[in-house]
Amino acid sequence: MNFINAILIMVIILLIYLALIKIYMTLFIMTGLSRQKARFQVVSLITGVGFTTSESEIITFDKRRRNIALAAMVTGMIFNVVIIGLLINIFVSLNTQQAEESLVVVILIISIAVALLLISKIPPVNRGINALIEWLAKKIFKLDSRYNVLTLLDNYGKEAIVEVLFNKIPDFMEDKSLAEIALKAKYNINVMMVKRKNRVLEINKDTIIQKGDLVLVFGSRQVIHNLFSPANGTAYATALKIGSQNTIHYIDNYGQDAMAEIECHTVPDILRNKPLCETVIRSKYFITVLKIKRFNTSITVNKDTIIRDGDVIIAIGPHANIHTLFTTPKQSDAEETNTDEPSLKEEAASENKEVK
């Protein structure tokens, strides 16, 4: 390969390299990243440097971003190898006389490349390029502006601050106030800010999230992703409502006591929104909560723990009491009737005698 051909190919490869950076930047911006973060992530991915573990959370949080990142890494590796090979070829084939003779052609090639870059910066041309990239993105990476955009802002263990751009309101939130949705009570998600048309709203229980709103939330990363990400939200929220009847699986028996795993779809009224220390689960029902699993994550049980809909509970106590407490739809109604009946502890003892 002669000197001029090597330079020409080198310039073409560099133009393609810059075009790839532009393409991947636009793709990341479509998923909710800011322009600054998108540029840093793309340069890091394509060059293979500077992509730290902490920063990578922004990419790994979203499946679409992971696909884009994978494509960027593969193409970046290929072009890096090609560019290094061309540079070596140029230096090997270079001699002083040939360089002097080819100087005009080299300058012309570089000038054309710079002119193309400047033309691409003209606003109408830039908008056209972005539109083309967005069209290709929808076809190849399945990026669609109808989907909500989740941007991970910061991590705190398994919890995170996430910015959600609502391009589509999930069915369970449609025309409902924050009080009706009960994100805090049901999913332990705090709404920190709602921005609508570049104006920050004052949040209260009557606030209704609308299409186009930018909402800042804090809670479990996985729960936020399941609720608000494309195609997941409605199904996930509905899953917690399916069947108000709790499911009890008995793990082991200890005389009249038993250890049970309780899929608590509906928290009994006397336990709802109360820390364990303020309930009668121990004093009246003699039930000890050993473990709670929430959204596939084990949480520490203490006196301030509140049982929520959807929790999976490991508890030990009288077999009859566990059954009575967690299978009665409205415990308050049960307490108002038959006040002269024997205590639950006595019921458990008598039931155990009958079994024997």
Task: Give which of 147, 179, 176, 183 is closest to 164, Cα–Cα.
Answer: 147
Q: Are 199 and 170 in contact (CB under 8 A)?
A: no
Q: In 3D, which of 118, 324, 296, 319 has the Cα closest to residue 222?
A: 296
Average pLDDT over residues 112-132: 77
pLDDT tens digits along 283-335: 999 999 999 988 778 888 999 999 988 888 999 999 888 888 887 544 433 33
Provide the CA 311 distance to its chain's centre, in angstroms: 20
Query: Does the fold of domain 247-355 match that of domain 149-239?
Result: yes
Q: Give the pLDDT confidence of 51-108 residue by residue, as tens digits.
A: 555 556 667 666 777 888 888 888 888 877 877 777 777 666 666 555 555 666 667 7
pLDDT tens digit sequence for 19-41: 888 888 888 877 767 677 777 88
**Predicted TM-score (pTM) above 0.75:** no
* pLDDT number for residue 35: 73
Helical (H) or strand (E) element with 191: strand 190-196
Domain ranges of the chain: 3-140, 149-239, 247-355
How far is 41 from 111, CA to CA, in rounded Å? 29
Give the three-state DSSP class for 158. coil
pLDDT mean over 148-171: 79
Burial of 322 (0-12, 13-18, 19+ CB in 10 A): buried
Q: Hey, how many other C-beta atoms are within 10 angstroms of the C-beta on 118?
A: 10
Q: Which of 75, 104, 134 is nearest to 4 (CA)?
A: 104
In CATH, the architecture of 247-355 is 2-Layer Sandwich (3.30)
Pairing of strands 288-294, 297-299: antiparallel
| Distance in angstroms (rounded) separating the CA atoms of residues 102 and 95 | 11
Tell me which architecture the domain covering 149-239 has in CATH. 2-Layer Sandwich (3.30)
Q: Which amino acid is at 279?
A: T
Confidence of residue 134 (pLDDT cuts 50, 70, 90): low
